[in-house]
Amino acid sequence: MRDEAAARDRDMVEGAVKKVRLFTLEGNADGEAALAFLQARGAAVDVRDVGRDPDASLELFNRLGRMGVPAIAIDDRVFVGFGVNRDEIEALLRE
């Protein structure tokens, strides 16, 4: 399953627009901040609510071996938490 997830992440990058998968829960303030940040920078964001979508929950667990939101997948990187990873996320969006 991890290989499938990695392949999907590689396919998410096309042209100048970064495609990002955001795993979060409804009402998660850090997730909402991440979404606003990503959209403001022109990223195409696929929001997956792990509280409502069992497939999203399973995908996140398979990637990380645990649950943690928000989790932000860009290319082959997955960041858990937004605020502490903001600078690295912004750098990846510029590539």
Number of domains, the chain: 1
Q: What is the pLDDT of residues 2-49, one digit of tens each?
A: 555 554 444 444 456 889 999 999 999 999 999 999 999 999 999 999
For residue 75, the enclosing domain spans 2-94
- For residue 84, the domain's CATH number is 3.40.30.10
Supply the pLDDT for residue 95.
86
CA angle 33, 37, 40 (to 5 degrees): 140
This prediction's pTM: 0.81
How many CA atoms, within 13 angstroms, populate the side-chain half-sphere of residue 74?
22
